[in-house]
C-alpha cells in the first residue's frame, strides 16, 4: 500500500495478488447502487428534492457531504431514523415516496459503470456463478438490473430487508452465497460503499471497492482488497489475469 498527497492507494503488485488465494474462483457477488450503475446522483437528487419540499434543514438543500454521511449505502430503516430521529414513521413514509421518485429517474437517466459489459462477458465466458446483493428495495433493484440488461445474468437477487439483517451486517452476502451454492473461499465481491465493504469483509470474502462516489479514505477504512475507478481499471484486469494464471477461473461457456 502506498500513501501520497493525502490519498490512499494500493500498489499494482498488491492488487494482482489479492484474488489468487480464491483459485479456483467459482462466483462473483455484486452490490447494485453505485456498483453496477452510477445511481447515487439520482438518489441524491430524489432525497434533495423530497426533503426540500418539506422544509427539511431549514429549507437548505442537502449537499453531497450530507448525502454520503447520512444516506449513501444505508438501508431505508436506518435513513429514516437518521433523518427523523423523533418521528420514525414520518421518515419511513418519506423514504417510500422518495423510492417511487427515484424509479422514475432511473427510467430516464440510469447509466452503467464504465466497463461493466466487458466484466459481465468475462464472468459469463467462464461460467461463474453470480448474484446481486443490495440494500435497495426489491422494486428498485429489479428495475435497475432490468434497465442494465442483466435480468438473465444474475442467478439470484438478495435484498437486505428480506434478510435477518441488512448491510453492514454480513447476512445478505452469506444469503447470496447460499442462494447460488457458492463457497466464500472461492468468491469475491464488488462494492462501492463503506457499509457494503464492511458487510462483505465480515462475510469472509475479498471485496473490490469502486470509488464511484464515496471518498477513497472512507472506503479504505473498511479494508477492501483494493480499489478501482471502474471496470476498465487496469488494476482489476491485472488481478483477474493473475488469477487465471493460477488456473483460478473456469472456462465453461455460459449462455445466460
33 is catalytic: yes
Given the residues 31, 78, 192, 233, the one annotated as active site: 31
Tell me what pLDDT residue 1 has.
Answer: 40
Q: CA 239, CA 245: separation in Å to the nearest integer?
A: 10
- In 3D, which of 245, 248, 247, 201 has the Cα closest to residue 223? 201
65 is catalytic: no
Shared domain check, 223 and 115: yes
Under the banding of pLDDT at 50, 70 and 90, the label for residue 13 is low
Shared domain check, 234 and 139: yes
Q: CA 180, CA 35: separation in Å to the nearest integer?
A: 20
Please count the structural domains in the chain. 2
Residue 91 structural domain:
40-109
Given the residues 14, 33, 38, 192, the one annotated as active site: 33
Q: Give pLDDT tens digits for 113-140.
A: 999 999 999 999 999 999 999 999 999 9
Mean pLDDT, residues 65-74: 87
Q: State pTM to two decimals.
A: 0.85
For 37-159, strand residue ranges (E) read 129-134, 157-159
Contacts of 1 (CB under 8 A, 6+ apart): 8, 9, 10, 11, 14
Shared domain check, 150 and 234: yes
Shared domain check, 91 and 60: yes
Under the banding of pLDDT at 50, 70 and 90, the label for residue 256 is very low
Cβ atoms within 10 Å, residue 69: 12
Amino acid at each position: 500500500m502506498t500513501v501520497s498527497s493525502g490519498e490512499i492507494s494500493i500498489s499494482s503488485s498488491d492488487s494482482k495478488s489479492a484474488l489468487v488465494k480464491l483459485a479456483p474462483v467459482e462466483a462473483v457477488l455484486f452490490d447494485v447502487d453505485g456498483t453496477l450503475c452510477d445511481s447515487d446522483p439520482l438518489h441524491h437528487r430524489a432525497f434533495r428534492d423530497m426533503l426540500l419540499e418539506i422544509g427539511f434543514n431549514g429549507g437548505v438543500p442537502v449537499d453531497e457531504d450530507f448525502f454520503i454521511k447520512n444516506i449513501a449505502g444505508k438501508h431505508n430503516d436506518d435513513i429514516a431514523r437518521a433523518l427523523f430521529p423523533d418521528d420514525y414513521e414520518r421518515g419511513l413514509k418519506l423514504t417510500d415516496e422518495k423510492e417511487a421518485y427515484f424509479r422514475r429517474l432511473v427510467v430516464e437517466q440510469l447509466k452503467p459503470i464504465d466497463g461493466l459489459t466487458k466484466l459481465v462477458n468475462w464472468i459469463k465466458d467462464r461460467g461463474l456463478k453470480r448474484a446481486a446483493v443490495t440494500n435497495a428495495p426489491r422494486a428498485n433493484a429489479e428495475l435497475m438490473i432490468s434497465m442494465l440488461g442483466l435480468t438473465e445474468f444474475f442467478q439470484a437477487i438478495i435484498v437486505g430487508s428480506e434478510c435477518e439483517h441488512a448491510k453492514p451486517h454480513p447476512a445478505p452476502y452469506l444469503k447470496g452465497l447460499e442462494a447460488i451454492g457458492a463457497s466464500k473461499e472461492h468468491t469475491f465481491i464488488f462494492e462501492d460503499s463503506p457499509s457494503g465493504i464492511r458487510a462483505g469483509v465480515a462475510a469472509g470474502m475479498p471485496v473490490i471497492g469502486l470509488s464511484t462516489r464515496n471518498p477513497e479514505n472512507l472506503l479504505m477504512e473498511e479494508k477492501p482488497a483494493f480499489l478501482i475507478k471502474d471496470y476498465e481499471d487496469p488494476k482489476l484486469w491485472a488481478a483477474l489475469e493473475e488469477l487465471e494464471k493460477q488456473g483460478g477461473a473456469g472456462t465453461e461457456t455460459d449462455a445466460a
